[in-house]
Each structure stands twice: as C-alpha cells, then as structure tokens.
Amino acid sequence: MLESFLITSRETLEASLVIGIVLAYLTKTNNQSYKKTVYYGIVFGILASILSAFAFTFIAGGFEGRAEAIFEGTTMLIGAFLLTTMILWMMKQRHLSKEIEGKVEKHLMGAQPLFSHVGIFMIIFIAIIREGVETVIFLNAINFASGLNFIGGTLGIVAAIMIGYLFFVSTRKINLKKLFNVSSILLILFAAGLVAHGFHELQEAAVLPYAVQEVWNINNVLNENGLIGGFLKGLFGYNGNPSLLEVIAYASYIGIIFYLYRRIQNSRVKVSV
C-alpha cells in the first residue's frame, strides 16, 4: 500500500505543482482568459494517460512464460530508471516556480494569442501525460513485483492534490524541500528493489546468469511472503534468498545514487560561492 501511495502522490504532486504555478501566474498577471486553456490541458492530459494505461495493460496481457518474465523484468528496470531521473531532477530543482513562470511568460509574449494558448496548453498537457505514463509504468512494475494496491494509489493522488492546493492557493508554507527529501529516500530504496527484482526476473528467464543462486537464505527467520517480509519486499525489494547478481545490483544502485547526490550537492556549493 505504501509503495503505491508514494508513487501516485509523488507523480501527482509534480503535475499539480506545475498546474498550480501556471494558474497562480495567470492570476497574478491578470491573464484569466487563459485559464480555460489550462483546464483543457488537464482534461486531455488525463485522457491521454488513461489511454496509455489501457495500451500498456493490453500489451502486457499478451505475454506468457519466458516472454512474460522478460517483459516484467524489463518493465521493472525501466521503472527504476524513470524513478531515478525523477528523483535526480527534483534534487536539482531550486527555483521550480520561476522556471515554469518563465515558460508561461514566454508563451504569453507570443505574437498571436493562438500560439500563446497552444504553448500554455502544451505545458500542462506534457506535464500530465509525462507523469501519467511514468505512473502507469511504475504501478505495473509494482504489480509485477509485489501486487498493486488501489487504495494506496488513490490516497496518494488525493493527498498530492490537497498538498498542491494548500501550497499554491492557501498558505504556501508547506516545506516541499523536506517533503521531497523524505520521499526521495524511500523512492531510492524502492527503485533499488525494482532493479534487483528486475534482474531476478531476467535470471528466471535465462537472459542473465545466476553465478551464485543464493548468497544467503533467511526466509525461515523473515519470510518474504509473510506479513513483515511481504511489506519489506513491496517497499524496499526485500528478498530472503537473493542471488549474487541481485545483491550486486541493489548495492551498486545505492552507491551510484549516493555518488550522483554528492555531485549535485557539490555543484550547488560551487554555484553559491
């Protein structure tokens, strides 16, 4: 449940922040006539995301046996990659509002009102379809790894919309930096689990070698199919009897992310100096 909540809340929050910034800027600059364009972008973005979900489900349902294992493993690795790009992007954001407001201002200064409407529509549409497609891939990866939780996903969407509304319409006092930092740590561990599980599926499909099939086996102490083990499996990719390649993949992913995080932090220090 928690992993579904994290994914949908994080993705929905990013889209809602973009929408909130655009609407706030249009109000501040007395360009309310463009608000309908924003709403059209929201509607069409959601419809396109729903279509992508149906398309993905249709494609996924056509695989069986070894092909199914390869598809699931590949989906998990793609999901981990997209999660990583999202996390790193959010780590780099220091002036998200100014960046989006700059894009809106650029389109509003267009020679023809039609081009301005199209530009603003595309900002909203792309923001939603991008997060929508990523969410479809993430949730399918979760479903392959540990099972999907509809309630958790729905609560994540509702929570993100509420946070976005409160931040931009009401108080603007929510500390998004701390919120993103905490969720980033959890999502990094979740992505590491997806990487390890993706390698596991590819090993079962005989695409990758096992080398050492079991580095350890502690399922008699903490079973991955039990209550606690199942929760850890779904959220952090816990495996009671991992192969050597799974352990290497998990540890390598954490190490690479830590390295990239340090580079981002160092670049910020140099810029401030």
pLDDT, tens only, 105-164: 666 665 556 667 777 888 788 778 877 777 777 777 766 665 556 676 677 777 777 766
Q: Which of 30-39, 151-160, 172-181, 194-203 has the lowest average pLDDT?
A: 172-181
Percent of the chain with pLDDT over 70: 69
Domain ranges of the chain: 2-272
Q: Which of 2-6, 24-28, 181-185, 246-250 has the lowest average pLDDT?
A: 2-6
In three-state secondary structure terms, 170 is helix
Q: Give the confidence band of 263 by pLDDT, cuts at 50, 70, 90.
A: confident
For residue 103, what are the contacts with CB-CB under 8 A and spacing of at least 6?
A: 119, 123
117-126 burial: b if 16+ Cβ within 10 Å, else e:
bebbbebbbe
- Write down the pLDDT at residue 169: 61
- Write down the pLDDT at residue 94: 53
What is the pTM for the complete model shown? 0.64
CA-to-CA dists, residue 264 to 165, 187, 269, angstroms: 29, 18, 9
Please give the mean pLDDT across all residues of the chain. Answer: 76
Determine the straight-line distance between the first and last CA of the chain, rounded to whole angstroms. 43
Dist CA 176 CA 168 (whole Å): 11
Question: With contact defined as beta carbons under 8 Å apart, do 145 and 246 qualify?
Answer: no
Percent of the chain with pLDDT over 90: 10
